[in-house]
Chains A and B, each alone.
Chain A
């Protein structure tokens, strides 16, 4: 099998995997990076949302070969050591998470949105498609607005 080299949360890694192996499984099963979650495998629930070269991507449908030479950031790499990212802080402040399973993806989607626009409108927040089965959407909205205000 071919080798693919990329960085995950700042560390350079090499995985030995078939070219078409979805990145989610390279991360979770080969590298033990378990923050990104499986929820559907077809890019509709968005639970695995992470960043590729700073933009939101969904590892469940991205082949490992597409990540070669790129920078991958997962939820584990968002905080700066013990210092949380402002979006994570906002999530704590609003007490967003219930079961928590979708929240790494929700947070990574929110961070990507705030990179694009400093003050997202309700319509832009509505466009986030990540499923939260616990139904925390209103607190997610409040947390994004709160993070935007602080950033």
Chain B
């Protein structure tokens, strides 16, 4: 993905182009390794005429059309290609063209089907579709988009099935369809006759029923949607029966692990002791593949021993000279300049750094592959399986229709499984070994050679006068985030629909479609500039928002302090949106904002809005030891517009909170000579039970309207709230994240 570049640049303000009076287009032309031009409609930066009124900020692109809207748009042509089947045993099976990685979408979609068909929830089975090329863009699990994009199509499919079942019963009984009703998985006649869906399943498929029209039930008639439901797959999980990729039994498939280079993207020059490793117990075969040296063995334990015993000479990688300091320098140089000089007005400036963060799903990158001369079958947890299928076909030199890609439920993702590199690597290994493989990455490799949230540097400046915020500028410089997993194609195909102008890169487009400021802070600009350093990066739950909005929420507290205002009162005054204000009010009330705390303890608060949803988080922190702060209590309120499964939404917010605790306080990657030093959870300090609050309350707001996203919503507000609590408890302004980030371990050998 190329970013436009320019040699020189400066901030400039264009003349009033369209007679907009006080409104002007502000254009920014900018200097950096990569160029950025962005235009935004702004309002002149002058002192307010009336000191009392907040200075309105015009809507940002993400408020007009967000990334989720773009994904829905891209799915529209294929939205009716859902597969829903009524079986003879009366169960209804929905093939979900998305990937379950823990977010609860199989349960939520089962609820939609059960609701629409008047069927008990436990009669609905939701399975994950294989890669289906004909779905084009409509098999991408990302952008907090599943329920937003499927809410209407799934109900429509279920409504059509119900109408067909009813019409079939009507035909059999010689009754009028509109006199029949459905209940508990059966069609019921006014005289009490009853036909189970199972009995109607076959005739309904055959019957000539003429032209049927079916529209989903009125939302006011919903009884199940909006009620808290437990996960349908929970029993399989707690009994150890749920099959993740490497729990599958594919005949003949043997364990394979890969010895990887000492630096990212290094390549094999020579294997120096192949014969000795082949002689080790359990070793079956060894092959050099694109990403390293693959070792096949009878057990993973032996494959791991074999891979560790290999002596390999390596060629260099793509970032061998990079370390924390070089990256920070590049990011600082790349952060775009502010436009508004701090003249005549008061101002607050802040600079923030966020480290790389591993996705670190607990199930490491893994896949099963059976590659033959004339075809291939792959199993893996993939969020963009169609692209994986295309890539694997290309890699193997097979036509796409000879590659079958099964999507497995996965042990976490957080963005990681947007990339199907494990599946592609397994295909390569199976091809090289000429037999089926079960490929597993070691944890160390998963952390060091896997994907990570890109490190970023942030400059924020706010100016204010007479109690009003006049301008709010945020310049984000980030290591390039890799969008090559299919989202870029969606954005290209729908470029004409996007509310962003200029020659923006995919990343800048995504940034503008996801990040927005919830405040009336006068002229507001949020700009991203990327540094093209070839790390393995990838969207990490909430993408740019966790760092961008988290840092902003910390600045909001600092602006409030300068103006002598309480953080909650200040936010209430300047928040644009009533729903955003309502969730803030809710946490302030439930979390007892402002209560007295002992020395070393403090509350912190923050808000966030994204994908048409709104949240607020209030935490209490024990920071008596600033090196070991603990969030002791969290109160979260969330408004997703239309909650489908409140229990699942609470779970998502709890996960977002733990992500916020981790990345704000302790979890990050140090880079040294082209490789992360961290190689396991003993080094990458993702939160454990002892870092987690003893009290968490999540309040799901009643329905307010259109369905919004929930999967990524929950991270940014905790980042801000935790930062603010830390500042209030310790008096230390947090600027670099994670806050406590020593190299407190002996790195594993490379």
- Contact surface of A with B, Cβ cutoff 8 Å: 1, 17-18, 21-22, 24-26, 28-30, 32, 34-42, 44-45, 47, 74-76, 78-79, 84, 88, 91-92, 95-104, 107, 122, 125-141
Cβ-neighbour of A91 out of B238, B302, B410, B412 (below 8 A): B238
What residues of A have a CB within 8 angstroms of the CB of B233 in the complex? Answer: 97, 100
B658 & A135 in contact (Cβ 8 Å cutoff): yes
Complex: chain A residue closest to B412, CB-CB:
A99
A35 & B102 in contact (Cβ 8 Å cutoff): no
CA of A98 to CA of B648, assembled, Å: 9
Least CB distance, A25 to chain B, in whole angstroms? 4
**Interface secondary structure of A, over-half rule:** loop
What residues of A have a CB within 8 angstroms of the CB of B657 in the complex? Answer: 135
Least CB distance, A56 to chain B, in whole angstroms? 14
List the one stretch of B359-367, B505-513, B523-531, B579-587 in contact with chain A.
Answer: B359-367
What residues of A have a CB within 8 angstroms of the CB of B659 in the complex? Answer: 135
Cβ-neighbour of A40 out of B240, B301, B680 (below 8 A): B680
Complex: chain A residue closest to B281, CB-CB:
A18
- Contact surface of B with A, Cβ cutoff 8 Å: 101-104, 230-231, 233-244, 246-247, 249, 255, 281-282, 298-302, 304, 360-364, 410-414, 440, 442-443, 647, 651, 654-659, 661-662, 680-682, 686-690, 692-696
What residues of B have a CB within 8 angstroms of the CB of A100 in the complex? Answer: 102, 233-234, 236-238, 242, 411
What residues of A have a CB within 8 angstroms of the CB of B302 in the complex? Answer: 18, 21, 25
What residues of B have a CB within 8 angstroms of the CB of A107 in the complex? Answer: 238
Contacts A/B (CB < 8 Å), 19 sampled: A22-B301, A24-B301, A25-B300, A29-B255, A29-B300, A38-B300, A40-B682, A44-B681, A45-B362, A75-B240, A78-B239, A92-B238, A100-B242, A101-B412, A126-B689, A131-B362, A131-B681, A135-B654, A137-B687
A137 & B234 in contact (Cβ 8 Å cutoff): no
From known contacts A38-B364, A45-B681, infer whether A138 and B696 are also in contact, taking CB-CB under 8 Å.
yes
CA of A95 to CA of B686, assembled, Å: 22
B689 & A102 in contact (Cβ 8 Å cutoff): no
What residues of A have a CB within 8 angstroms of the CB of B410 in the complex? Answer: 99
A137 & B688 in contact (Cβ 8 Å cutoff): yes
Cβ-neighbour of A34 out of B236, B247, B412, B655 (below 8 A): B247
Least CB distance, B100 to chain A, in whole angstroms? 8
Least CB distance, B313 to chain A, in whole angstroms? 26
CA of A101 to CA of B300, assembled, Å: 18
What residues of B have a CB within 8 angstroms of the CB of A36 in the complex? Answer: 240
CA of A101 to CA of B417, assembled, Å: 15
From known contacts A95-B647, A99-B411, infer whether A141 and B300 are also in contact, taking CB-CB under 8 Å.
no
What residues of B have a CB within 8 angstroms of the CB of A132 in the complex? Answer: 362, 658
A84 & B239 in contact (Cβ 8 Å cutoff): yes
Least CB distance, A18 to chain B, in whole angstroms? 5
CA of A139 to CA of B659, assembled, Å: 15
Cβ-neighbour of A138 out of B240, B442, B693 (below 8 A): B693
B299 & A1 in contact (Cβ 8 Å cutoff): no
A95 & B692 in contact (Cβ 8 Å cutoff): no
Given contacts A1-B281, A135-B655, A138-B654, 10 further A-B contacts (CB under 8 A): A25-B302, A40-B680, A40-B681, A45-B362, A95-B647, A99-B410, A122-B694, A125-B689, A132-B362, A141-B694
From known contacts A21-B301, A25-B301, A45-B362, infer whether A133 and B412 are also in contact, taking CB-CB under 8 Å.
yes
What residues of A have a CB within 8 angstroms of the CB of B681 in the complex? Answer: 39-40, 44-45, 131
CA of A121 to CA of B229, assembled, Å: 29
Complex: chain B residue closest to A24, CB-CB:
B301
What residues of A have a CB within 8 angstroms of the CB of B362 in the complex? Answer: 37, 39, 45, 47, 99, 101-102, 131-134
B680 & A136 in contact (Cβ 8 Å cutoff): no
What residues of B have a CB within 8 angstroms of the CB of A104 in the complex? Answer: 237-238, 240
A101 & B651 in contact (Cβ 8 Å cutoff): no
CA of A135 to CA of B686, assembled, Å: 9
What residues of B have a CB within 8 angstroms of the CB of A40 in the complex? Answer: 443, 680-682
Least CB distance, A15 to chain B, in whole angstroms? 10
CA of A133 to CA of B374, assembled, Å: 39
CA of A78 to CA of B657, assembled, Å: 31
CA of A44 to CA of B684, assembled, Å: 11
What residues of A have a CB within 8 angstroms of the CB of B661 in the complex? Answer: 135
What residues of A have a CB within 8 angstroms of the CB of B246 in the complex? Answer: 28, 34, 38
From known contacts A41-B304, A91-B238, infer whether A137 and B692 are also in contact, taking CB-CB under 8 Å.
yes
What residues of A have a CB within 8 angstroms of the CB of B230 in the complex? Answer: 92, 95
Cβ-neighbour of A137 out of B242, B255, B656, B689 (below 8 A): B689
CA of A141 to CA of B634, assembled, Å: 15
A140 & B689 in contact (Cβ 8 Å cutoff): yes
Least CB distance, B447 to chain A, in whole angstroms? 10
Residue with the greatest number of chain B CB neighbours at <10 A, chosen from A22, A47, A138, A139:
A138
What residues of A have a CB within 8 angstroms of the CB of B688 in the complex? Answer: 128-131, 137
CA of A100 to CA of B255, assembled, Å: 23
CA of A35 to CA of B243, assembled, Å: 9
A84 & B238 in contact (Cβ 8 Å cutoff): yes
From known contacts A79-B239, A88-B239, infer whether A42 and B680 are also in contact, taking CB-CB under 8 Å.
yes
What residues of A have a CB within 8 angstroms of the CB of B651 in the complex? Answer: 95, 98, 136, 139
CA of A146 to CA of B180, assembled, Å: 45
Complex: chain A residue closest to B304, CB-CB:
A41
Complex: chain A residue closest to B440, CB-CB:
A38
Least CB distance, B744 to chain A, in whole angstroms? 14
B239 & A76 in contact (Cβ 8 Å cutoff): yes
What residues of B have a CB within 8 angstroms of the CB of A44 in the complex? Answer: 680-682
Closest 8 CB pairs of A and B: A135-B658, A35-B240, A101-B411, A99-B102, A100-B237, A75-B240, A137-B692, A25-B301
Residue with the greatest number of chain B CB neighbours at <10 A, chosen from A37, A99, A104:
A99
CA of A31 to CA of B682, assembled, Å: 29
From known contacts A126-B689, A138-B654, infer whether A133 and B244 are also in contact, taking CB-CB under 8 Å.
no
CA of A98 to CA of B650, assembled, Å: 11
A21 & B654 in contact (Cβ 8 Å cutoff): no
Least CB distance, A45 to chain B, in whole angstroms? 5
B687 & A135 in contact (Cβ 8 Å cutoff): yes
Complex: chain B residue closest to A78, CB-CB:
B239
CA of A91 to CA of B239, assembled, Å: 10
CA of A103 to CA of B362, assembled, Å: 11
CA of A134 to CA of B243, assembled, Å: 18
Residue with the greatest number of chain A CB neighbours at <10 A, chosen from B298, B301, B658, B690:
B301
Residue with the greatest number of chain B CB neighbours at <10 A, chosen from A28, A78, A101, A122:
A101
Least CB distance, A150 to chain B, in whole angstroms? 15
What residues of B have a CB within 8 angstroms of the CB of A88 in the complex? Answer: 238-239
What residues of A have a CB within 8 angstroms of the CB of B300 in the complex? Answer: 25, 28-29, 38
Least CB distance, A61 to chain B, in whole angstroms? 11
A41 & B687 in contact (Cβ 8 Å cutoff): no
A97 & B231 in contact (Cβ 8 Å cutoff): yes
Least CB distance, A145 to chain B, in whole angstroms? 10
Cβ-neighbour of B690 out of A95, A103, A127 (below 8 A): A127
From known contacts A35-B240, A40-B680, A125-B689, infer whether A133 and B360 are also in contact, taking CB-CB under 8 Å.
yes
Complex: chain B residue closest to A39, CB-CB:
B362
A133 & B361 in contact (Cβ 8 Å cutoff): yes
What residues of B have a CB within 8 angstroms of the CB of A127 in the complex? Answer: 689-690
B443 & A92 in contact (Cβ 8 Å cutoff): no
From known contacts A95-B231, A133-B412, A135-B659, infer whether A128 and B301 are also in contact, taking CB-CB under 8 Å.
no
Complex: chain A residue closest to B413, CB-CB:
A99
What residues of B have a CB within 8 angstroms of the CB of A78 in the complex? Answer: 239
Cβ-neighbour of A39 out of B103, B443, B654, B662 (below 8 A): B443
CA of A21 to CA of B244, assembled, Å: 23
